[in-house]
């Protein structure tokens, strides 16, 4: 049976650019939340977000429209991950066995928002969408394929907030079936005003900060960034003596089939995704050392996720540390689960887990160990990483020490 391993990581998130900076920031509980700058929020009740700061691209876009694409983040994270894995140059390899899968919720939107803000009348009159670099969404992976010379399967996963984990699951299957040797996978997102408005008007946005599992949590903080990993078969990695962070043991999917925006109240879908992931990984609830939570900081999600964890982990639920990095980098939507997958691999490699910050008041309904405010050094052999999306679209994956 082929084993699938992670050999390179790349991160661009609100509290740090590059894996090293980002990991230090996460372990130190650095909050990436600040005043939202990329568009005017004066008409909204919420003005804060987790935007990527001080970002410099080492390649130049021709115009301002194309500079507004998520390509700048996915490209940067992908480049870091490939360099990390020793695959910056793939000359001599069979390029048709190198594939790409990236998840996004609405990564293609910001350039159009930029154009329409300048000339709203163009919407009705017709405008040249071709000037936007990331159109249609699949252009995001097309660009990466062209940048890095990958010629294998290529797709964008459009699955809202579980997009990244869907892309990783899809890549896992391709590697497992022996169809490819290497997959560049992950997720990327910018903050579209469209999604900001959507969450704002659903009253899902917290005014100041994201406080997952806290009694006074007021919602999510929207975020942006990218998380990319290099996945390959253990055989392929061993042959080229690659550095290995972790093994992806398996994934579990489910769908609530319940509501367009609200999660199932008892977490039926979440329970199923976690249980399916445990069986796919051929481990039990007794083996997991750390849960990287979906933990959005919305009242409904955090109760639902807590209930689901208790149902799956039974008597162990309260002893397993559960943390949400969304408290520091916001909800990066389509990129979130990919970024969290990168962080899961780092937890295994570094023997440490990041905290849930802004944790102030315990909630009787959320009574697990949420790693409040301080990161911890612990030995991590198995991590379970949850992602739950609108539409009840759930994917959980499990990473382990090799």
Partner 1 sequence: MNKRAVVTGIGVVSPLGIGHQDFWKNLVSGNSGIAPMECLDLSKYECKNGAEVKGLNPEEFLGRKGLRYLNKGTKFLGSSVKMALDDANLEIDEELSNQTGILIGSSLGNFSQTTDYFHDIVRENPSELSPMQSYDVALNSSINYASVVFKIKNFARTISSGFTSSTDAIGNALKLIQNGKADVIIAGGVEQISLDLYMIFYMRKMLAGANGTGSEISMPFDKRRNGFIMSEGSYVFVMEDYDHALSRGARIYGEVSGYGSIFAGNRSSDIGKRVEKALNAMKKCTNDAGISPDDIDLINANGNSGKLSDLIEAKAIKELFGEESENVPVHTVKSALGESYGASGAMQTASALLSINDGLIPPTINYEENDPECNLNIVGERLEKEVNTVLINSFDLSGNNSCLIVKKHE
Q: How far is CA 177 from the centre of its chain?
A: 24
Longest dimension (CA), the chain: 61
Smallest separation, CB 166 to partner 1 (Å)? 6
Counting beta carbons within 10 angstroms of the beta carbon of residue 159, is it exposed (0 to 12), middle (13 to 18) or buried (19 or more)? buried
Q: Identify which of residues 140 and 246 has a Cβ nearer to partner 1 in the complex.
A: 140
Q: Which residues contact 121 (CB under 8 A, 6 or more apart)?
A: none
Q: Which has the closest alpha carbon to 304: 254, 264, 331?
A: 264
Structure tokens at 99: 């594939």
378 near partner 1, judged by CB under 8 A? no
In the block, residue with structure tokens 């409040």: 372
Q: Does residue 245 interact with partner 1 by CB under 8 A?
A: no
Figure out which of the listed residues 151, 287, 372, 401 binds partner 1, where binding follows CB under 8 A.
151
Decide if residue 193 touches partner 1 (CB under 8 A). Answer: yes
Active-site residue among 71, 166, 264, 331?
A: 331
User: Least distance to partner 1 from the beta carbon of 78, Å?
Assistant: 15
Beta bridge partners of residue 387, listed in sequence order: 395
Instruction: Figure out which of the listed residues 93, 135, 240, 275 binds partner 1, where binding follows CB under 8 A.
Output: 135
Nearest to 307 by CA among 280, 271, 343: 271
* Cβ-contact 301, 213 below 8 angstroms: no
Q: Is 393 in the site for partner 1 (CB under 8 A)?
A: yes
Q: Residue 398: what are its φ and ψ, rounded to 5°?
A: -125, 125
Beta carbon of residue 240, minimum distance to partner 1 (angstroms, whole number)? 22
> Any contact of residue 315 with partner 1 (CB under 8 A)?
no
Nearest CA to 31 among 223, 214, 217?
223
Contacting residue, 29, 187, 188, 269, with partner 1 by CB under 8 A: 269
Q: Does 154 bind partner 1 (CB under 8 A)?
A: yes
The verdict on 37 binding partner 1 (CB under 8 A) reads: no
Which runs of consecutive H residues, i.e. helices, occur in 86-119? 109-118
Give yes or no for residue 295 binding partner 1 (CB under 8 A): no
Torsion angle in degrees (nearest 10) through CA of 80, 84, 90, 91? 110
Q: Which is nearer to partner 1, 114 or 370 (CB)?
A: 114
List 150, 285, 313, 399, residue binding partner 1 (CB under 8 A): 150
**Would you call 345 a catalytic residue per the annotation?**
no
222 binds partner 1 (CB under 8 A): no
127 is a contact residue toward partner 1 (CB under 8 A): yes
Identify the H or E element spanning 24: helix 19-27
In angstroms, give the least distance from the CB of 37 to partner 1: 17
What CA–CA distance (Å, rounded) separates 41 from 222?
13
198 belongs to the catalytic site: no
Known catalytic residue: 161? yes
User: Pick the catalytic residue: 294, 345, 358, 366?
Assistant: 294
Q: How far is the CB of 104 from partner 1 (least distance, A)?
A: 9
Which H or E element spans position 198?
Answer: helix 193-201
Is the bond preceding residue 136 a cis peptide, omega within 30 degrees?
yes
Minimal distance, residue 183 CB to partner 1, in Å: 12
- Compute the least distance from the CB of residue 254 to partner 1, in Å: 6
* Interface size with partner 1, residues (CB under 8 A): 70
Told to check if 275 binds partner 1 by CB under 8 A, we report: no
Q: Taking CB under 8 A as the rule, does residue 256 contact partner 1?
A: yes
Determine which residue in the list 37, 45, 282, 318 makes contact with partner 1, applying CB under 8 A.
45
Q: Which two tokens stand for residue 222?
A: 């929207």
Q: At what angle do helices 336-350 and 163-176 cross, to 10 degrees?
A: 60
Rounded-to-integer distance, Cα 253 and Cα 272, Å: 7
- Residues belonging to the active site: 161, 294, 331
User: Given the rule CB under 8 A, which residues bind partner 1?
Assistant: 43-45, 96, 99-100, 105-106, 108-109, 112-113, 116-117, 120, 123-124, 126-130, 135-139, 141-142, 145-146, 150-160, 166, 170, 173, 177, 192-194, 197-198, 200-202, 253-261, 269, 272, 390-393, 395
């Amino acid at each position: 049976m082929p084993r699938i391993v992670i050999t390179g990581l790349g991160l661009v998130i609100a509290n740090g650019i590059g894996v090293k900076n980002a990991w230090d920031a996460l372990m130190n509980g650095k909050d990436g939340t600040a005043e939202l700058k990329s568009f005017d929020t004066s008409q909204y009740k919420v003005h804060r977000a987790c935007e990527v700061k001080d970002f410099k691209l080492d390649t130049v876009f021709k115009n301002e429209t194309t500079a507004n694409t998520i390509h700048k983040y996915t490209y940067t994270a992908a480049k870091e991950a490939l360099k990390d894995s020793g695959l910056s140059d793939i000359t001599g390899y069979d390029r048709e066995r190198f594939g790409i899968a990236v998840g996004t919720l609405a990564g293609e939107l910001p350039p159009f928002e930029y154009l329409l803000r300048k000339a709203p009348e163009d919407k009705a009159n017709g405008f040249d969408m071709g000037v936007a670099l990331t159109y249609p969404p699949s252009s995001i992976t097309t660009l990466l394929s062209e940048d890095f010379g990958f010629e294998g399967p290529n797709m964008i996963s459009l699955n809202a907030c579980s997009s990244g984990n869907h892309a990783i699951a899809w890549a896992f299957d391709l590697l497992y079936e022996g169809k490819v040797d290497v997959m560049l996978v992950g997720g990327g997102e910018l903050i579209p005003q469209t999604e900001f408005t959507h969450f704002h008007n659903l009253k899902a946005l917290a005014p100041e900060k994201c406080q997952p599992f806290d009694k006074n949590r007021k919602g999510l903080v929207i975020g942006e960034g990218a998380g990319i990993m290099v996945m390959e078969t253990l055989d392929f990695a061993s042959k080229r003596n690659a550095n290995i962070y972790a093994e992806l043991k398996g994934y579990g999917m489910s769908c609530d089939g319940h509501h367009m925006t609200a999660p199932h109240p008892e977490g039926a879908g979440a329970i199923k995704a976690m249980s399916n992931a445990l069986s796919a990984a051929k481990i039990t609830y007794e083996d997991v050392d750390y849960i990287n939570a979906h933990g959005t900081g919305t009242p409904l999600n955090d109760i639902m996720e807590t209930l689901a964890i208790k149902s799956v982990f039974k008597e162990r639920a309260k002893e397993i540390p559960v943390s949400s990095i969304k408290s520091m980098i916001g909800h990066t939507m389509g990129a979130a689960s990919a970024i969290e997958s990168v962080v899961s691999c780092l937890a295994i490699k570094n023997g440490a887990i990041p905290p849930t910050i802004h944790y102030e008041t315990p909630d009787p309904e959320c009574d697990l160990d949420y790693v409040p405010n301080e990161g911890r050094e612990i030995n991590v052999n198995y991590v379970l990483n949850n992602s739950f999306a609108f539409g009840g679209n759930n994917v959980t994956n499990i990473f382990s020490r090799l």
